[in-house]
Amino acid sequence: MQPKPDQSHRIFLASLSLSAATLSACTGSTPASTSNTPEAATQLSFLHVAPASGPAALPQIVDANNRIVLLRGVNLNGIRDDYVDSATPLQTPYPIDPGAYTNGACPARGAGVPTIPICELDAAQLQSFGYDSVRLPVSWSLLEPQPGQIDQTYIERIAQIVAWFKQAGIYTVIDMHQDAWSKYVFTAPGAICPPPFTAVSGAHEADGAPQWASNHLTPVCALAGIREIDPAVEEDFSRFWANLPAPDGTGLQDHFAKVVVALVSRFHNEPAVAGYELFNEPLPGLLVVPELVDLTSTFPFYAKVIKSVLAAQPDFTQLFFVEPDALRNITDQRSEFTPWSLFSNYPNVVYAPHVYTHVFTLDAELASLIPSAILAPLFPLSSGYANAVGDAKALGLPLWVGEFGNGVSDDDTILRGHYQLEDQYTIGSSLWLWKQDGNADNTDGFAVMHGPFPTGAPFPSRIKFTARVYPLYTAGTIQSLTYDPDQPSFDMVATSPQVTAGDTTHATVLFIPASFNATLQADGAQTQVINHEDGSRELYVYPTGGTYHIHS
């Protein structure tokens, strides 16, 4: 199963022939006309940051024609260098050579590998659900397996994935990922961890730094079994924030910056790469006051990496995504109160927190000790988003939720709430996770897809909430946005200067899933519907000037 050229569904040629009915002036409330004309190949453009607008009054991510791009998508972790639960736990989970994936091939995962490799078939599946972006976790350990040696084969594997998604009209955010610092931080055989510490071994989720950057003196013993507060993990973070030298004498942060520069060198001319997330879920280490870690460690580090990139590529314009201290995942509270401009004057930066309300917040973490009915009301999902918006405003940056999610059994409450709030604030996001472990019995996982390798099947509730009507591109400024998958119903109000009918590069473009059986109408705009083989549609909207209203 491969993406077909006539399924590309983002931008088609401006010379596309439109019917006279479609181009007639739209007065009052007029249903969209329909066309089955095939689109040309997708043309993604470079993204940048524009001034604040919209319901949240935040800076916006826009394309080359200044249309708002929400970047709604999903995380794909099938290229991450995880610890493996097998006799050889430090093996690379999947083939790195792009040749193993050519002509539609999809290599089976190895024994003990918890995730499914990313293959060409994923692009068509993602496209059919309307996702316009993916967050792609990559691993420092595979990018720089030895100090100063960049693995170009792994970078070309990343490029292969970017190309697949580009053909499907999907942006990629390359995420420098880590969990618990590194897969090389685990308890040695025979070592003893006294209570309340426990040994770190087996199928623990750990990835990130290479072995040569994972040196520590403290024992690897997780407090209460929580790997992030393993003293060895925190020691490695402390060494990193202090930029202590690697075995070759170069600072750890300096090595990391060179890895990002290597990625940028490969992709800075590729518009399908929306940008680079500089560090996943940073932890404070042993010597940093948690409340001050962003001021003292993470944000200065991000600024340092950005400076290195700009020195190497002065014409660089892509986005950087910056995450706060991972402790925000637990507190859900405000954590940023100073402008990003104190750290860097590079304009194309996006604030990218994670929102895991009722999953990693204190009410969930302490559920075995304190009834959730007591703590859960203290962590409303609405506050998690309001606080993220507040942080983004203080920083002066756009907001993009790089991770959120929950167990499938909570989709009707938690997942529904996430998307309602993201619509309310008109912000983009990336759901955790696309495919996980391929086990059809995994009925309460975080994944969208489950079931037999390699194709899988979607959880119905995941598709209900994620395959939704939303604007892929928006001309002008969004005033309000709502979608109800139960009715189903959709309502969007925006303002824009006039867009000439047929000017597809400046039009508002809505994705409409196959499950949406209502007719969309438009006030103050001319429209055209494009049908796709999978039953989904796109609505091209050409505002006549001023306020325009799209509704069911």
> What is d(CA 181, CA 236) in angstroms, rounded to the nearest whole number?
7
Per mean pLDDT, which range of 131-135, 434-438, 497-501, 542-546 is the poorest? Answer: 434-438
State the first-to-last Cα distance of the chain, in angstroms, to the nearest integer.
Answer: 33
Q: Are the beta carbons of 227 and 200 closer than 8 angstroms?
A: yes
Which whole number is the average pLDDT over 526-530? 96
Question: How much is the pTM?
Answer: 0.93
The answer, yes or no, to whether the previous bond of 488 is cis (omega within 30 of 0) is yes
What is residue 168's three-state secondary structure?
A: coil
Residue 366's pLDDT band (boundaries 50, 70, 90)? confident
Task: Dump pLDDT digits (tens) for 319-342.
Answer: 999 999 999 999 999 999 999 999
Residue 70's pLDDT band (boundaries 50, 70, 90)? very high
% of the chain exceeding 70 in pLDDT: 90
Which neighbouring-strand residues pair with 541? 508, 527
The answer, yes or no, to whether the previous bond of 196 is cis (omega within 30 of 0) is yes
pLDDT at 282 over 70: yes
pLDDT at 203 over 70: no
427-452 burial, b if ≥16 CB within 10 A, otherwise e?
A: bbbbbbbbbbbbeeeeeebbbbbbbe
% of the chain exceeding 90 in pLDDT: 77
Task: Dump pLDDT digits (tens) for 434-476.
Answer: 998 766 566 778 999 988 777 788 999 999 999 999 999 999 9
DSSP code of 375? H
Task: Dump pLDDT digits (tens) for 122-166.
Answer: 999 999 999 999 999 999 999 999 999 999 999 999 999 999 999
Residue reference for tokens 């196959």: 514
Report pLDDT for 469: 98
What is residue 483's three-state secondary structure?
A: strand
Task: Dump pLDDT digits (tens) for 260-277.
Answer: 999 999 999 999 999 999
Q: Which domains does the chain have, with CATH numbers?
A: 5-43+473-551 (no CATH), 72-183+240-467 (3.20.20.80)
> What is d(CA 239, CA 178) in angstroms, rounded to the nearest whole number?
15
pLDDT at 95 over 70: yes
Report pLDDT for 2: 34
Return the amino acid letter for 388.
A
DSSP code of 366? T
pLDDT at 22 over 80: no
Report pLDDT for 153: 98
Sort residue 340 into left (φ over 0), alpha (ψ -120 to 50) or beta: alpha
From the list 448, 526, 513, 541, the residue with the least C-alpha distance to 68 is 541
Tokens found for residue 31: 């249903």
Report pLDDT for 441: 60
- What is the average pLDDT score of the chain? 90
Using CA atoms, how far residue 244 sits from 139, 149, 181, 252, in Å, is 20, 19, 15, 6
Report pLDDT for 439: 62
Which neighbouring-strand residues pair with 509? 473, 540
> What is d(CA 447, CA 454) in angstroms, rounded to the nearest whole number?
14
Residue 285 CA neighbour count, 13 Å, CB half: 18
Return the amino acid letter for 270.
E
Which neighbouring-strand residues pair with 491? 482, 551
Report pLDDT for 292: 86
The helix, strand and coil proportions of the chain, stated in percent and rounded to the nearest 5, come to 30, 25, 50
Report pLDDT for 541: 98
From the list 472, 332, 326, the residue with the least C-alpha distance to 414 is 332
Which whole number is the average pLDDT over 281-288? 87
Report pLDDT for 444: 79
Tokens found for residue 441: 């019995």
Indicate the burial class of 394 (C-beta count within 10 angstroms; 0-12, 13-18, 19 or more).
middle
Task: Dump pLDDT digits (tens) for 228-262.
Answer: 889 999 999 999 999 999 999 999 999 999 999 99
Task: Give counts: helices (H), strands (E), the chain.
Answer: 14, 25
Residue 411's pLDDT band (boundaries 50, 70, 90)? very high
pLDDT at 5 over 80: no
Which neighbouring-strand residues pair with 322? 351
Using CA atoms, how far residue 285 sits from 38, 211, 228, 259, in Å, is 54, 18, 10, 22
Position with higher pLDDT, 293 vs 440: 293
pLDDT at 290 over 70: no
